[in-house]
Amino acid sequence: MTHSPSSFDEMLTADGTVRAAYAGYREWFDEQDPALLRRKGAEAESFFRRTGITFNVYGDDAGEERLIPFDMVPRIVTASEWRKLSRGIEQRVRALNAFLHDIYHRQEIVRAGRLPQRLIAQNEAFLPQMVGYVPPGGVYTHIVGIDLVRTGPDEFMVLEDNARTPSGVSYMLENRETMMAMFPELFTKVNVRPVQDYPRRLAKSLAACAPGCAGDRPVVAVLTPGIYNSAYFEHAFLADQMGAELVEGSDLRVVDGRVAMRTTRGYTPIDVLYRRVDDEFLDPLSFNPDSVLGVPGIMDIYRAGRITIANAPGTGIADDKAIYSFMPEIVEFYTGEKPLLANVPTWRCSEPDSLAYVLDNLAELVVKEVHGSGGYGMLIGPTSSKKEIEAFAAKLRAKPENYIAQPTLALSTVPILTKAGLAPRHVDLRPFVLVSPQGIDITPGGLTRVALKKGSLVVNSSQGGGTKDSWVLED
């Protein structure tokens, strides 16, 4: 798929005029020596290598650690664009929290006929252990990543919701640090809102969700599956930046009705556990009995209200792509307002008419697994061969309820630095949202992922994408 003129270029208008967001940056860029910029690019790469900013690759090259490519041209959003986006993100996150509370209690949305019962009853991400339980502070999604794509000057759409364990915030922070180290003068020229205080805000937001038994200074710990996990760098980085302990399941046990971590002075109770371990591995007594990553008995302590688990177990149902297709109804049902951010049009293959349409138009559509993530298990029709499309059609006919389909969007483009100069590439954006009883806190910017191959629409790092610094301009 080639870069089509229908894609919205975030830096340049059709006649080549620089848009307001990029005016200051472009002025600075035009004064730079191209050779110096390329040298800085290589410097950034060695900085990332030294810091150890890598991710593990699963699948074909399993176990291989790769550097996420970093592009030094920032993605820039104006203050007014960001205000509008923030309102839409906040509305959506409120609706997600209300939805999660409802489906684990009265299921009013099902009773009202706005959501089919089977989407919850037959959903592997729905946890019966959470029925009737309210997490401390009433918060289910303490940290949310909402994936957005831009298709025009005022058109931002939600591509997916990440309410389980959204990752990538360490790249947002390191990208900014790298840019500030390489081009300090650029930040005096262009007034950019800071993101560096995210770990402090995360620690404060998590502490505000501590259970009633916590003292004045709640103890927060980060639970990691360990060094072989693809996001281990991020787990260690965030624990370090928050001043929290980084723990594995083997460091924790239930002591006197609390979950406690092993220290040099014996076991210390934990108030808030920011877990980066999936539900099924969290408690071998409640879920997967073979799990060695979690803590036996933690769900009993949790349901007794003596520890906060962030994000709450069972939030993964909100990441389900079939539930996503109902988000416009969900937002309206719980907020009484029309959604400020649109969903991408979605066909549910479980519905016979939609399935027929999708099968007829596979070559034009993107088809995703309802539980899939990371760009795996999907079909991108326009870039697939006839043979691949036929093989996928057979999968669809066999298990239609497993898939949804969406049109191939003309994602907006942002320039990257290539040997020949600036060239447009497709991007998406994952803003990070913190939720506590004190309110919703959206970090200005987020993680911009960029498809580095010309014409490619796949931005996932596991599929060859890179990242850039995301700037929100001050007023």
475 pLDDT tier (thresholds 50, 70, 90): confident
Q: Which of these three, 276, 306, 336, is where a domain ends? A: 306
Q: At residue 4, does pLDDT exceed 50?
A: no
Structure tokens at 404: 């949804």
Per the domain annotation, does 147 fall within a domain? no
* Cα–Cα dist 343/336, whole Å: 17
* Cα–Cα dist 29/32, whole Å: 5
60: amino acid identity, one letter:
D
Question: 436-461 burial by CB neighbour count: b if 16+ within 10 A, else e?
Answer: beeebbbbbbbbbbbbbeeebbbbeb
Backbone dihedral angles phi then psi of residue 119, each to the nearest 5 degrees: -65, -25
- Interval 101-130: pLDDT, tens: 999 999 999 999 999 999 999 898 999 999
When mean pLDDT is compared across 8-12, 289-293, 461-465, the lowest value belongs to 461-465
* Cα–Cα dist 261/252, whole Å: 5
Q: Which of these three, 281, 306, 331, is where a domain ends? A: 306
Beta bridge partners of residue 77, listed in sequence order:
472
374 pLDDT tier (thresholds 50, 70, 90): low
Q: At residue 290, does pLDDT exceed 90?
A: yes
* Cα–Cα dist 254/261, whole Å: 9
- Residue 60 is predicted with a pLDDT of 40
* Cα–Cα dist 187/475, whole Å: 15
pTM of the model: 0.92
User: Which three-class secondary structure state does DSSP give residue 369?
Assistant: strand
Q: At residue 55, does pLDDT exceed 60?
A: no
Per the domain annotation, does 432 fall within a domain? no
Per the domain annotation, does 395 fall within a domain? yes
CB-count burial class (<10 Å; 0-12, 13-18, 19+) for 45: middle
Q: At residue 404, does pLDDT exceed 70?
A: yes
Domain span including residue 274: 212-306
CATH number of the domain residue 230 falls in? 3.40.50.11290
Looking at per-residue pLDDT, the higher value among 1 and 339 belongs to 339
Q: Are 374 and 300 found together in one domain?
A: no
Q: At residue 170, does pLDDT exceed 60?
A: yes
- Residue 63 is predicted with a pLDDT of 45
- Interval 381-403: pLDDT, tens: 888 899 999 999 999 999 999 89
Q: Pick the closest to residue 136 from 60, 218, 191 (CA basis).
A: 218
Q: At residue 61, does pLDDT exceed 60?
A: no
- Residue 58 is predicted with a pLDDT of 41
- Residue 252 is predicted with a pLDDT of 98
Per the domain annotation, does 45 fall within a domain? no
Looking at per-residue pLDDT, the higher value among 377 and 147 belongs to 147
Backbone dihedral angles phi then psi of residue 248, each to the nearest 5 degrees: -115, 165
Per the domain annotation, does 420 fall within a domain? no
Q: At residue 460, does pLDDT exceed 80?
A: no
Q: Which DSSP string do the residues of 102-162 spell out, in sequence order? A: HHTTT-HHHHTTSS-THHHHT-TT--GGGTT---GGG-S-SEEEEEEEEEETTEEEEEEEE
62 pLDDT tier (thresholds 50, 70, 90): very low
- Using only C-alpha atoms, the chain has a radius of gyration, in whole angstroms, of 23
CATH number of the domain residue 381 falls in? 3.30.1490.270
When mean pLDDT is compared across 125-129, 251-255, 404-408, the lowest value belongs to 404-408
- Interval 176-190: pLDDT, tens: 999 999 999 999 999
- Interval 291-328: pLDDT, tens: 999 999 999 999 999 999 999 999 999 999 889 999 99
For all residues of the chain together, what is the average pLDDT?
92
Structure tokens at 173: 């922070």
Mean per-residue pLDDT, 10-20: 95
Which residues lie closer than 8 Å to 141 by C-beta, 6 or more apart?
93, 96, 97, 100, 163, 311, 312, 315, 318, 435
Q: At residue 454, does pLDDT exceed 90?
A: no
Per the domain annotation, does 238 fall within a domain? yes
User: For the chain, how many helices (H) and strands (E)?
Assistant: 14, 23
Q: What is the DSSP letter of 473?
A: B
2 pLDDT tier (thresholds 50, 70, 90): very low
- Interval 76-95: pLDDT, tens: 999 999 999 999 999 999 99
- Residue 176 is predicted with a pLDDT of 96
Q: Which of these three, 261, 277, 306, is where a domain ends? A: 306
Per the domain annotation, does 269 fall within a domain? yes
The total number of structural domains in the chain stands at 2
380 pLDDT tier (thresholds 50, 70, 90): confident
- Residue 375 is predicted with a pLDDT of 62
Pair type for strands 403-407 and 379-380: unpaired
- Residue 187 is predicted with a pLDDT of 97
Per the domain annotation, does 230 fall within a domain? yes
65 pLDDT tier (thresholds 50, 70, 90): low
